[in-house]
Chains A and B, each alone.
Chain A
C-alpha cells in the first residue's frame, strides 16, 4: 500500500497495524511517498506498470485518475454496503465518477472555526457564544483586536492557496456561492457570496484585524498560528486540536462551524484521503476487504475515535471517546455540513500557488482593485483551465 506522508501518518500507521494484527496472513506493507510527490509518483507508477495493490490518495485528485480509468471500478463489489450510506459525503462525491464507485474514505480532515476563549473573555465576549455569521465574526474580531499588543481578532493565510480553500472557501459556500469550474463550460465563482466574502476579508485586512505577517503565510507555519495565543478566531482543521494543546497547554479554546453571511449558515471543507485500488493491482479482493475493515463499526470507534481522529462515517460520531472530548465532537459536526470540490483540474484552478484562486484572494485582500474585475479575471482563468481538461 502507498500512502502520502504528512500529518496523518500516525493514524494511518494505527489503521494498518490494526489490520495486520487481525490478518496475519494478509499483512499490509505500507510505503510512504512524500506528500508533494504523490501525484507524480502514482502517475509514473501507472505509466511504468508498477503500482501497489491499494493506495491512499488525496481525495481531491481522485476524479482525475477516475476519468483516466486508472482506478479499479469497485461498484459491483461495494455498492450494497450499508456503511456507505453514512460514509463522509465529501469523500464519496469524489470517489464517484459517472455513477461508478472507485474508493472509500481513509481519513477525514475538516475545517472549522477555532476561537480563543481566553481572548473572548478579555474582550468582554461570551466564550460560549462563537460567531454565527460573518457580520458577528467581524464585530468580535474588532473587539479582540482592540485588546492591543500582538493580539489580532482573525487570521487570513495570505500566500497559501490550499489553506484558503480549506478555510475561506467554506465562508463562500456558507454564503451560497460555488467556487470551482467542475468541467469544461461550467461557470466558476457563482453567487453573491463570492464578492461578499472577498469584501469581508478585505475589510478585515484594512481594519487591522489580521497580523501583517499573515500575508507571507505559505502554509509552513499555518498550523502554529492558533496555538500562538495571539489570534482570536481562525479557520483551521481538526488536526489543530492536539497541536494547539501541545503548543499552548493553558489556552482555553472552542470550535464552531465556519459561518456565512446569513445568521446560522455554515459550511466546511472535507479533505483527507480515499483508499483506492490502482488499475493493475493483483489483489483487488484483499483491497476490498481492507476497505470493509476500515468502515467497520469496530475500527471506526476503536481505532479512529479512540485516537481522537475523526470517524469517516457520520453515524459513528456519537461514541464514548468523543463524548469524553467535546472539542472533537464539535469539529465532527463539520462532516455533516462539509463538502469537497469536484473538478478534474483542482490543482491548477485552486491549489496551485500560481493558480487563479490564490491570485484572486491576494488581489482582494491586499489591493484596492475593483472586486468585480478581480472576480471576472479569476472566472476567466478558471474557465480556461477547465476548458483544457
Chain B
C-alpha cells in the first residue's frame, strides 16, 4: 500500500488516464445533460431556464409511461430467451470439435452485423407483401393469408422484433458462456463423472454454479441493451400500432431531434438513466450475494 505522498502521486498518475477518460466522456456529458434538462432549448434559439418543469412534464406524460412499460415488457420477454438460449447453445458447442466450432461461428456471425442492417433485413423478411416468412408459411399451408407481423398488434410486433434481435445477439452471450464453461476445471467435471453424476446433474450442480458470474454479466448486458432498445423498433414498427411499441429511447430521440425539444429530451434521458442505474445496482447486489 502506498502511504507516502510520492506513493500516492504515483498511484494517481497511474489512475489519471482512466480518470480523465471518465471525466471527459461520462461525467462532463452527464453534467451537460443535467444542465440541458433544466432548460428549454431548440438548438435554434438560446436555451431558456425552466428549472424542474421538464421533469414535472415527464411524470405527467402518458406516452412516456406507455413507452417505458413497453420497454420493460420487451426486456422481460427477450432477456430470458437470450440467457437460456445462449446458455443451451453454449452447452451444445462448448467442446472444441470441428462441427461445434462451425456451429459457434454460424451462430455468432449475426453479432457482427449492425443492428440497423439486421432490423432492415428482418423488416423485409416479415413484410406482408414481399416477405419470405409469410411466403413460406402460406406455401406450407400453415396460414391462409399473410400474417401482419409488424405495426398492427403490439404483442405480435414485440414477438417478431424479439425474434430478430435473438437471431442478432444470441451468439454474443453464447460466446461468453462458452468461455466460462471451458474455464471450468476438467478435474472437477471428471470427478463428478467418477462419482456417477448424470449430465444433467453435472450441468445444474457444477457447471452452472461455477459460471454464475458470467450468467449475471450476460443478464446485466442484456437488460441494459434491452432498456436502451431503439434501432429495431424505429426501423421495424416506427412505434406502431398507436405508439404502443415506441420504446423509451425512441421517445427520447423523437423529442430531442425531430421535435427539437432538447431540454425535454434530456429530462427524459435522465429519468431513463436513473432507472437503468437502479436495475444495474440491484443486479450487482444480487451478484455479490451469489458470491457469498
Name A's B-contacting residues (CB within 8 A).
37, 39-40, 43-44, 46-47, 64-65, 68, 70, 158-160, 211-216, 218, 220-221, 224-225, 228, 347-348, 351-354, 358-359, 362-363
Question: Which of B43, B149, B238, B260 sits near A353, CB closer than 8 Å?
Answer: B238
Let me know if A215 and B42 touch, CB within 8 A: no
In the complex, the chain B residue whose C-beta lies closest to that of A351 is B258
Query: Bound complex: CA of A228 vs CA of B124, how far in Å?
Result: 15
Question: Which of A160, A212, A358 sits near B128, CB closer than 8 Å?
Answer: A212
Name B's A-contacting residues (CB within 8 A).
42-45, 63, 120, 123-124, 127-130, 145-146, 148-152, 237-243, 246, 251, 254, 256-260
Contacts of A64 in B (CB 8 A): 44, 260
Contacts known (A43-B260, A44-B43, A68-B45); A215 close to B239, Cβ less than 8 A = no
Contacts of A44 in B (CB 8 A): 43
Let me know if A353 and B239 touch, CB within 8 A: yes
Interface centre among B128, B237, B256 (most CB of A within 10 A): B128
Let me know if B148 and A215 touch, CB within 8 A: yes
Question: Which of B44, B145, B150, B256 sits near A216, CB closer than 8 Å?
Answer: B150
* Chain A interface main SS type: helix
Let me know if B246 and A354 touch, CB within 8 A: yes
23 pairs across A/B with beta carbons < 8 Å?
Answer: A37-B257, A39-B257, A40-B43, A40-B260, A46-B44, A47-B44, A70-B44, A159-B151, A159-B241, A212-B146, A214-B128, A215-B148, A215-B152, A216-B150, A347-B259, A352-B254, A352-B258, A353-B243, A354-B239, A354-B251, A359-B242, A362-B240, A362-B242
Let me know if A221 and B44 touch, CB within 8 A: no
In the complex, the chain A residue whose C-beta lies closest to that of B67 is A354
Question: Which of A46, A65, A220 sits near B123, CB closer than 8 Å?
Answer: A220
Question: Which of A40, A216, A224, A359 sits near B243, CB closer than 8 Å?
Answer: A359
In the complex, the chain A residue whose C-beta lies closest to that of B128 is A213
Query: Bound complex: CA of A351 vs CA of B239, how far in Å?
Result: 13
- CB of A221 to closest CB in B, whole Å: 6
* Chain B interface main SS type: loop
8 extra interface residue pairs, beta carbon distance < 8 Å, beyond A220-B120, A224-B130: A40-B257, A46-B43, A64-B44, A65-B44, A159-B241, A215-B151, A362-B240, A362-B242
In the complex, the chain A residue whose C-beta lies closest to that of B120 is A220
Query: Bound complex: CA of A65 vs CA of B45, how far in Å?
Result: 10
In the complex, the chain B residue whose C-beta lies closest to that of A68 is B44
Contacts of A212 in B (CB 8 A): 128, 145-146, 148
Contacts of B129 in A (CB 8 A): 211, 213, 221, 225, 228
Let me know if A216 and B127 touch, CB within 8 A: yes
Contacts of B242 in A (CB 8 A): 359, 362-363
Query: Bound complex: CA of A136 vs CA of B254, how far in Å?
Result: 40
Number of A-B contacts (CB under 8 A): 96
- CB of A165 to closest CB in B, whole Å: 15
In the complex, the chain A residue whose C-beta lies closest to that of B157 is A216
Let me know if B260 and A159 touch, CB within 8 A: no
Query: Bound complex: CA of A213 vs CA of B242, how far in Å?
Result: 17
Query: Bound complex: CA of A352 vs CA of B238, how far in Å?
Result: 9
Contacts of A359 in B (CB 8 A): 242-243
In the complex, the chain B residue whose C-beta lies closest to that of A388 is B261
Contacts of A159 in B (CB 8 A): 151, 237-238, 240-241
- CB of B197 to closest CB in A, whole Å: 51
Query: Bound complex: CA of A224 vs CA of B258, how far in Å?
Result: 26
Contacts of A358 in B (CB 8 A): 240
Query: Bound complex: CA of A374 vs CA of B63, how far in Å?
Result: 18
In the complex, the chain A residue whose C-beta lies closest to that of B41 is A47
Let me know if A40 and B258 touch, CB within 8 A: yes
- CB of A1 to closest CB in B, whole Å: 20
Query: Bound complex: CA of A359 vs CA of B63, how far in Å?
Result: 13
Contacts of B240 in A (CB 8 A): 159, 218, 353, 358, 362
Let me know if B241 and A362 touch, CB within 8 A: yes
Contacts of B63 in A (CB 8 A): 354
Let me know if A347 and B150 touch, CB within 8 A: no
Query: Bound complex: CA of A352 vs CA of B259, how far in Å?
Result: 9
- CB of A108 to closest CB in B, whole Å: 23
In the complex, the chain B residue whose C-beta lies closest to that of A48 is B43
- CB of A33 to closest CB in B, whole Å: 12
- CB of A235 to closest CB in B, whole Å: 17
Question: Which of A39, A214, A216, A363 sits near B258, CB closer than 8 Å?
Answer: A39
- CB of A21 to closest CB in B, whole Å: 35
Query: Bound complex: CA of A211 vs CA of B127, how far in Å?
Result: 12
Q: 3 nearest interchain CB pairs?
A: A213-B128, A43-B43, A68-B44
Query: Bound complex: CA of A159 vs CA of B242, how far in Å?
Result: 9
